[in-house]
Structure 1
Amino acid sequence: MVRILPMAASSSLHLSSLLHYSSPSDPIQRPPHPLSPPSRHRRIKTSKSTRMEGYNITACTGNMAQASTAVTEENALEWVKKDNRRMLHVVYRVGDLDKTIKFYTECLGMKLLRKRDIPEERYTNAFLGYGPEDSHFVVELTYNYGVDKYDIGAGFGHFGVAVEDVYKTVDLIKAKGGTVTREPGPVKGGKTVIAFIEDPDGYKFELLERGPTPEPLCQVMLRVGDLDRSIEFYEKAFGMELLRKRDNPDYKYTIAMMGYGPEDKNAVLELTYNYDVKEYDKGNAYAQIAIGTDDVYKTAEAIKLHGGKITREPGPLPGISTKIAACVDPDGWKTVFVDNIDFVKELE
């Protein structure tokens, strides 16, 4: 739902200036991937006038709708916990949209929910997932005309997909020419069968063997520099719950699962801390997660109170009525909050 511009952006102040671009020539310090082998293993659609950056723009000037009752530091956490929030979609760039759609539908079993081409802006969007956008977490792919390669960076980790048979899924992926980076087998120290694959752009997917689940697209893994700080931020500012935390001293990393409900029924955010690594290059491929909220104004105030940086003050997007607010977490990962009722209207 949010348009992402190609790397060749103008030098003037533009929505694309908010996106993290790094020079292709910049060296990338890549710490070990803790999940790579052998370590371990309401109705909400975007109108055609909503550009991909629509949910990723910086603090704007001009008229804004009047904010609802301000939250205080004392009641912010209580309100955040009561807010009706859900992870809506994750946005990232790809170099060959048709190739990626083919891989996701044939190998991962996703459905192409909708596709939108905006030739005057030179980009195309595709929304894919395992069910309707009003009830499922989906991926939003962006293809910018003429840009066939992006730097994924060292900070983004992987997406997680729950499947009923990891071995059969991997066999299918191999038959379709996909790349398997970790063969199927039990996770180190556990019983869950997993495998790791890469899509045509090099994004990693962890396949997790589970029974039937309402949310097969189940994880987004990001690396952070201070896990306790991130957990506190996502709990207090985003209203997420710490579902579990696990330290692996043998491989020098700790993970925390954060979300709005149990892992077997909801998409979750997997935060990974690699010992002694405080910062990561984020590249220019991964963009952000969008989350639904009942009140973008209160959401923005709560984020400010708990140390987040607002990059787009709450209010309606130019040209349409959808209200959004955008922010970055302490590590600079972007999130956009979208008004639930407005999102429903867009999908209609």
Structure 2
Amino acid sequence: MSSLSATLNLLRPSLAPPPPSLRFCDVRNSASSYCTSRRLALFHLGSALPQSQLLGAKASELLRGERNTLEAAPVANLAQAGTAITKENALEWVKNDKRRMLHVVYRVGDLDKTIKFYTECLGMKLLRRRDIPEEQYSNAFLGYGPEDSNFVVELTYNYGVDKYNIGTGFGHFGIDVEDVSKSVELIKAKGGKVTREPGPAKGGSTIIASVEDPDGYTFELLERGPSPEPLCQVMLRVGDLDRAINFYKKAFGMELLRKRDYPEYKYTYALMSYGPEDKNPVLELTYNYGITDYDKGNGYAQIAIGTDDVYKSAEAIKLYGGKIVLEPGPLPGINTKITACLDPDGWKSVFVDNVDFMKELE
């Protein structure tokens, strides 16, 4: 096995057994041309699965039952990098770092079927697609604009796995549309599943609707008119909202755009981003009263974020309560520098060097 393959196997995610099922009566139901290079396949670290999990009739059981054993790969040594920072200057550095959300990564059971839904029903464009038979997976990038300037989705299909447990922690993806009702009618005509008919959001006036893709991931359609970033939200549930806000502000350098509490519906949410909501995708964090832990399933993987320095990014993450699961540095065999981490709730993110990312897109 090559060093590259060995590294890939080490980085693929462990899948913890789900905790006892939770009752969610009060949970918010928010619901380019082909590139032959394999380098960008590494940016989805965490969406391809080991061969041992993909073989046999009980693949789905294996996916649900593997123990949580993800380990950090010793790719680089922070001390040798000479980029250590302290809390005194970490906040300022993180604030000035040129960061943006690059793509969100998750697993699907039928890549062709999902691409068809996203392009025909959601209006996305297929940006690129790749098959890696030696690693037993395929992936595709889709979105509303080029990857060098827009937030996109990265779909991964692992050979032989046609179903995933989405879990209770993942909430939804958000898409800005000009007319929610027309969008819903199109989706219905194409055979899509509508889980919430168009209407005002709870506690607000924005017209929204919810639909499910073929794998059961929820997309919330928001009537807002033209937007430079139609793929506008990723919603995740957290057990302690103030802790999560503090972490994403200090370790990730995100701004708190707003925080709202809805006691009548028993939830509070916060929107975090790298700029104004009308021009940037947001991370929506939701706290449901009394629920501190969620089953993350094995479908949703992570968000990738651009940074000018993965070493300093990793240092800041550790200073503010995050866990590094892949030490920063260039991946074996290529020059792309990355680091991966978990937030206090266990949600994974991957930071990718901005210059390396743009080189890969060339």
Counterpart CA distance in 2 for 1:185 and 1:68 is 54
Tell me if structure 2 keeps the 8 A contact 1:194–1:209: yes
1:92 paired with 2:106, answer yes
AA partner of residue 106 (structure 2): Y
Counterpart CA distance in 1 for 2:308 and 2:89 is 16
Distance change (3 Å), C-alpha of 1:23 and 1:60: closer
AA partner of residue 31 (structure 1): F
Match in the other structure for 2:59: none
Counterpart CA distance in 2 for 1:207 and 1:102 is 18
Residue 60 of structure 1, aligned match among 50, 67, 73? 73
- Mean Cα deviation higher: 71-80 or 183-192: 183-192
Match in the other structure for 1:157: 171
Residue 168 of structure 1, aligned match among 163, 182, 192? 182
Measured against aligned partners, the alpha-carbon deviations of 1:261-311 in whole angstroms (never above 9, x if no partner) come to: 111111010000001101001000000000000000110000111111001
Residue 260 of structure 1, aligned match among 261, 274, 277? 274
Q: Which structure 2 segments of 5+ residues have no match?
A: 1-5, 47-69
Residue 292 of structure 1, aligned match among 299, 306, 312? 306
Q: Which structure 1 segments of 5+ residues have no match?
A: 1-11
Distance change (3 Å), C-alpha of 1:159 and 1:33: farther
Match in the other structure for 1:269: 283
**How far has the Cα of 1:28 moved from its partner?**
3.0
Distance change (3 Å), C-alpha of 1:152 and 1:16: farther
- TM-score in terms of structure 1 length: 0.90
**How far has the Cα of 1:190 moved from its partner?**
2.1
SS of aligned partner of 2:118? helix
Counterpart CA distance in 1 for 2:8 and 2:130 is 22
Match in the other structure for 1:195: 209
Match in the other structure for 1:248: 262
Counterpart CA distance in 2 for 1:277 and 1:320 is 42
1:308 paired with 2:302, answer no
Counterpart CA distance in 2 for 1:67 and 1:86 is 23
User: For 1:133-152, what aligned pairs fall within 5 Å after superposition?
Assistant: 133-152=147-166
AA partner of residue 333 (structure 1): W
Match in the other structure for 1:29: 22
AA partner of residue 310 (structure 2): V
Match in the other structure for 1:3: none
Distance change (3 Å), C-alpha of 1:207 and 1:168: same
- TM-score in terms of structure 2 length: 0.86
Distance change (3 Å), C-alpha of 1:13 and 1:124: closer
The RMSD of aligned alpha carbons is 2.2
1:48 paired with 2:38, answer yes
How many residue pairs get matched?
330
Distance change (3 Å), C-alpha of 1:153 and 1:342: same
1:336 paired with 2:350, answer yes
Measured against aligned partners, the alpha-carbon deviations of 1:218-243 in whole angstroms (never above 9, x if no partner) come to: 00000000000000000000000000
Measured against aligned partners, the alpha-carbon deviations of 1:243-276 in whole angstroms (never above 9, x if no partner) come to: 0001000111000000101111110100000011
Distance change (3 Å), C-alpha of 1:319 and 1:216: same
- Mean Cα deviation higher: 100-109 or 27-36: 27-36
Tell me if structure 2 keeps the 8 A contact 1:71–1:302: yes
Tell me if structure 1 keeps the 8 A contact 2:12–2:45: no
Match in the other structure for 1:19: 13
**How far has the Cα of 1:188 moved from its partner?**
2.5
Counterpart CA distance in 2 for 1:105 and 1:80 is 36
Counterpart CA distance in 2 for 1:334 and 1:136 is 20
Identity of matched residues, %: 73
**How far has the Cα of 1:72 moved from its partner?**
1.1
AA partner of residue 21 (structure 1): L
SS of aligned partner of 1:79? helix
Match in the other structure for 1:6: none
Tell me if structure 2 keeps the 8 A contact 1:58–1:311: yes
**How far has the Cα of 1:23 moved from its partner?**
4.7
Counterpart CA distance in 2 for 1:17 and 1:28 is 28
The runs of 4+ residues in structure 1 deviating greater than 3 Å are 12-18, 32-35, 49-58, 62-66
Tell me if structure 1 keeps the 8 A contact 2:144–2:150: yes
Counterpart CA distance in 1 for 2:288 and 2:274 is 24
Counterpart CA distance in 2 for 1:17 and 1:295 is 20
Tell me if structure 2 keeps the 8 A contact 1:294–1:339: yes
Distance change (3 Å), C-alpha of 1:321 and 1:212: same
AA partner of residue 318 (structure 1): P
**How far has the Cα of 1:51 moved from its partner?**
3.9
Tell me if structure 2 keeps the 8 A contact 1:16–1:53: no
